[in-house]
Amino acid sequence: SLHLLFNNPKTITMNIAKSALALTLASTARAFSPAATRAFAPAARSSGNARASFIGSSSRGIHASATALNANVLKLTEPAKDLLPGVDVFIFDCDGVIWRGDSVIDGIPETLEKLRALGKKMYFVTNNSTKSRAGYKKKFDSLGLNVPAEEIFSSSFAAAAYLEQTKFKETGKKVYVVGEVGIQEELDLIGVPHFGGPEDGGKIPDMGPGCRVEHDHDVGAVVVGFDRNINYYKIQYAQLCINENPGCEFIATNTDAVTHLTDAQEWAGNGSMVGAIKGCTGQEPTVVGKPSPLMIDYLTDKLGLDKGRICMVGDRLDTDILFGTDNGLKSLLVLSGVTTEEKLLSQENTITPDFYADSIVDFFIDEDAKVEATAEATA
């Protein structure tokens, strides 16, 4: 009921945190400063679908091809008419859109340069929590991508920002981290004490007769992010904190099923780590990454952006595209990551982007076609 929803302690806490946003948005924060996180407010997720209609009630005038299996999904064929004029801001996922593993996808640097030349704003929002914003800036640089630090947002930042806005530091409690250095670096920026993470990667609990794992009763939150060194000790420690420490919050950076560790195959994602903790606690986590509205609320409130002129571009239906449709954004799925065209167009799929394309290189497919036609004509 509405009464229960608006009197739920977690909802009240998140709404109080969102109210604090108005006080912090008056000044622009540096990308890697603690002040940046203070402007990042959580918001309760709407139960309805706030999707803005990019296509409209009719597809008349849209120069894109409707598919046979799912007539509501249009393949982008003339972006200069159908996409670019109606979008001021692109929000890009990273894994599967900009790069795969440690390899940049073909044509991406040139495409980003073309978008900047058109005056489009861009933000890069990743659910991967293994790096902090500073860490991701280094990755962009290593791939030859000229992306300013203030355009980068990660789920590790989102977790720290959530704790900042809910005034976790004032409780005097600690955070136990199941995850990697990205979460720890972001927590350091806001001065929240933490432990666990990589330091617990080699620990093995003694499970002989009468043995037990002793845990810190001052842990007030467990943050679970992608962890390549997940082990039984970490799972046991996390469940003890959540099950036995009164009020201990269970926070997940994301629940992605798979991820791109390399460009050779898909790897089990943070959904597997979160699922392990859910299984032994019976608790649902507060999810701060996509499709949670936290990051889009930050961008629209801080920068005064019009949601109707923002396009979310990603390779996942259940995170990226849902992030767009649930939050009133335009959305475009690319097939350069985890989602196949067959899955997108199947009757079982209920998440529909406004368009789909092979990759973001297709944003200039009509321009490239004109260049090729001109070259052939003059040959």
Positions marked catalytic:
88
Q: How far is CA 344 from the centre of its chain?
A: 20
List the strands of the sheet with 194-196, edge to edge: 194-196, 174-178, 219-224, 249-252, 286-287
Measured CA to CA in angstroms, residue 286 lies from 123, 254, 283 at distances of: 24, 9, 10
CB 88 within 8 A of CB 311: no
CA atoms within 13 A of residue 62's CA, in its CB half-sphere:
20
| DSSP labels, 169-201 | GGGT-EEEEES-HHHHHHHHHTT--EEEGGGGT
Element (H, E) at 377: helix 365-378
CB 302 within 8 A of CB 25: yes
Handedness of CA 172, 194, 260, 204 (dihedral sign): negative
Q: E strands of 245-304, at which residues?
A: 249-252, 258-259, 267-268, 286-287
CB 96 within 8 A of CB 336: yes
CA atoms within 13 A of residue 324's CA, in its CB half-sphere:
31
Which of 94, 52, 43 has the alpha carbon at shortest distance from 327? 52
Residue 274 tokens read as: 């979160």
CB 233 within 8 A of CB 262: no
Which single residue is written with the structure tokens 């898909």?
A: 266
Most distant CA atoms of the chain, gap in Å: 84
Which of 128, 133, 99 has the alpha carbon at shortest distance from 254? 128
Element (H, E) at 242: helix 232-244
